[in-house]
Structure 1
Amino acid sequence: MTRGLLNDRNREAWQAAKEKDEALLVGYLVAGDPAREASLSMVRESVEAGIDVVELGVPGRRPEMDGPIIQRAHKRALDGGMSDEEELLAYWRAIRQQVAVPFWAMGYKSDVVGSGLYKKLIREQLVDALVLPDCTLEEQVAIQQYTADFGVDIVRFINSAMDEETMKRVCDGATIIYAQSYAGTTGDPLANVSDLSQLCSRIRHYLPEGMIVSGFGLRTPKLVGEAVRSGFDGAVVGSALVARCENQENDYLYRMVAEMKMQTVRSNREEESL
């Protein structure tokens, strides 16, 4: 059995992938983008196409750690009504009823923590993990002390530029690590994804039982396959999917998800790209 996770859905999804000799495909979409009903449909159909875990972005006014593709998605969602907390919670309740896979809420500190939104999401059992990229490690640890009672994991971040001492501190008490394949904002089309095996090995040394997923720059099925064969438990894809939402290329979105999911099979040696 997989161990180290606080959340049952996360644990069960990971265990099911292990039994099939697969990694998890974590797909990032922004709640309410490009519009409420279209977003609900896209999330449902993307899960049908192969997404194992939905990382659902909480729309924010200053998504500074994201690139322009995801920034525009935040604006579309806010313009469409997701700026109202009750509308956002209603959206989250609806998608939780419609989709059974784990949901990770990704949001910025001012939008999720400072507002108290994360407590509402947790108390209603609407999320299975929190992804808080602009929280410090100390803040993430403090929030995890609260969420642990509700069985909600906190995703912590590591990048290849970290020294060993810092990496060890981040892994101490962690349940899920998000390994960033490069430094900078999301969706950089010129980013070079390399040395994933070395990064995975370094993290695994300090987190032998937790989940380690890789993200940033995994814009094609081939790159997803490289991350999986580097030893990661999951691959996170965001900007490549959000770009399809922006252009309302639904069939393209679902085909891309299906092709990426095929590359999470560890025995798969085919490296197809779009």
Structure 2
Amino acid sequence: MKTNLYSPMNAEVFHDAKDRAEALLIGYLVAGDPTIDESFEMIQASAHAGIDIIELGVPSPNPFADGEVIKRAHKRALDAGAAASEGLLALWRKVRQEVSRPIWAMGYKNELIDEGLYRLLMEEQLIDALVLPDCTLEEQIRLQEEVGKAGIDVIRFINSAMDDEKIRNVCNGATIIYAQSYAGTTGDPMAQLQDPSVLCDRIRPHLPKGMLVSGFGLRSPERVGKAVQSGFDGAVVGSVLVSRCENREKDYLYRLVAEMKLETLISSTGG
């Protein structure tokens, strides 16, 4: 299946997963959490355990769209010296050199865009996608025009509260859609999750060549499997992984990643 992805690395992992009858496991970790050295160790080992795409969070003093688990991780990373400075870039370079996975930079507009960090990451070819929860659709489109030339995708968001016209507008020209199971902050334990197949079926006709991934609320291997069975190309897991970093439960983290990856095997989930 030919895709319209800008990033060669994103396209490669997408096609390879399709050839193996798998969906992608996208794992979110905050860069520098709980320390810079431990952060690299956990990123590298999680990739070996089964993460196909690394979503690296840029530490922010005000991660307002995130829940408490991830907010605490941002603070730990900042305390560890992983601000948008040489400490962060050194970690990012090491991940790029030693972990052969696409890297998606997830960050807030202030730290990632306004301060110019995305340009440094782009110029050094350290990222394959930008994930910007507080950018408008218009801002995402303008950024895509800029960074697409460097082989970087700008991910757009859809949540279950959007109407069909909004979904169609977001999908127009998109390469990767991040479908959020609910509207709100990450890791909300009280969120009401819909059947993921309903949202997938609403989006898919408008995204014939792009990558469609599901996130928010995928706290267990079973929920990852449900997203894959529903037809998504990938599952994004974050808060449940970050909580393992918080408690330094490294073996638990890697085992959880491996169990989630098993649930992306389409033949084993009945998809």
> Is the shorter-chain TM-score for this pair beyond 0.5, marking a shared fold?
yes
Q: Which moved more, 1:72-81 or 1:181-190?
A: 181-190
Between the aligned partners of 1:230 and 1:192, the Cα distance in structure 2 is: 17
Partner residue in 1 for 2:58: 58
Superposition deviation, residue 84 in structure 1: 4.7
Correspondence 1:29-44 to 2 at 5 A: 29-44=29-44
CA contact (8 A) 1:25 1:52 kept: yes
Correspondence 1:1-274 to 2 at 5 A: 1-269=1-269
Between the aligned partners of 1:132 and 1:262, the Cα distance in structure 2 is: 29
CA contact (8 A) 2:54 2:101 kept: yes
CA RMSD of aligned residues (A): 1.0
AA paired with 1:213?
A: V
Between the aligned partners of 1:83 and 1:16, the Cα distance in structure 2 is: 34
Q: Which moved more, 1:195-204 or 1:124-133?
A: 195-204
AA paired with 2:252?
A: Y
Unpaired runs of at least 5, structure 1: none
Between the aligned partners of 1:72 and 1:155, the Cα distance in structure 2 is: 25
Count residues in correspondence. Answer: 270
Unpaired runs of at least 5, structure 2: none
TM-score computed with the length of structure 2 as normaliser: 0.98
Superposition deviation, residue 86 in structure 1: 1.5
- Describe the shift of the 1:84–1:57 C-alpha distance in structure 2 as closer, same or farther (beyond 3 A): closer
- Describe the shift of the 1:197–1:86 C-alpha distance in structure 2 as closer, same or farther (beyond 3 A): same
CA contact (8 A) 2:10 2:128 kept: yes
AA paired with 1:107?
A: G
Between the aligned partners of 2:84 and 2:175, the Cα distance in structure 1 is: 31
CA contact (8 A) 1:21 1:265 kept: yes
Superposition deviation, residue 136 in structure 1: 0.3
Percent identity between the aligned chains?
A: 60
AA paired with 1:256?
A: L
CA contact (8 A) 2:187 2:239 kept: yes
Between the aligned partners of 2:231 and 2:18, the Cα distance in structure 1 is: 12
Between the aligned partners of 1:53 and 1:15, the Cα distance in structure 2 is: 13
Q: Which moved more, 1:24-33 or 1:183-192?
A: 183-192
Q: Which moved more, 1:121-130 or 1:200-209?
A: 200-209
CA contact (8 A) 1:2 1:14 kept: no
Between the aligned partners of 2:261 and 2:125, the Cα distance in structure 1 is: 27
Which 4+ runs in 1 deviate beyond 4 A? none
Superposition deviation, residue 191 in structure 1: 2.1
Superposition deviation, residue 164 in structure 1: 1.4
